[in-house]
Structure 1
């Protein structure tokens, strides 16, 4: 499974979500961090939205996951992933 985190350097919300993703147990995924300051199209799309967590499906379509509160726990992040990605992993 491929997850993509749109972020920018120095963003404490982005760093917090990345740290929570790294603490997940039992999830097999590759995490790609995309710095929105490195491409104008990413910056225009996400400058007011970061962090944005997306799932890249088998067809190459990028699907944004619902925004998680910065105060959410690792277990709440896991529940979000289970709700939105578990059906995909069963296919």
Structure 2
């Protein structure tokens, strides 16, 4: 599976989520980090929402589906448990 994290430099919530995603060990995924300041459409869409996390549905021609933002206080383990639901759904659909 592939995950996309929309954020921007200097956003402590974005950086915190990225760090936690990089520490997840029991799920296999590729993480792509997108800087919303590099494209006007991303900036317009997400400037008040970051960090924003999407999963890429390869079986649906790469459709990006949003994943609810985890709490900034979530531990790596809690983040992993939350993501597990989306991985299971991804496999069964």
**What's the offset of the Cα at 1:28?**
1.2
CA distance in 1, matches of 2:24, 2:69: 17
Asked if the contact 2:27/2:84 (under 8 Å) is kept, the reply is: no
Gaps of 5+ in 1: none
Using the size of structure 1 for normalisation, the TM-score is 0.93
Residue 87 (structure 1) shift = 2.4
Root-mean-square deviation (Å): 1.1
Unaligned runs of 5+ in 2: none
Shift of residue 90 of structure 1? Answer: 4.8
Partner in structure 2 of residue 16 of structure 1: 16
What is the TM-score with the length of structure 2 in the denominator?
A: 0.91
User: In the comparison of the two structures, how many residue pairs are matched?
Assistant: 91
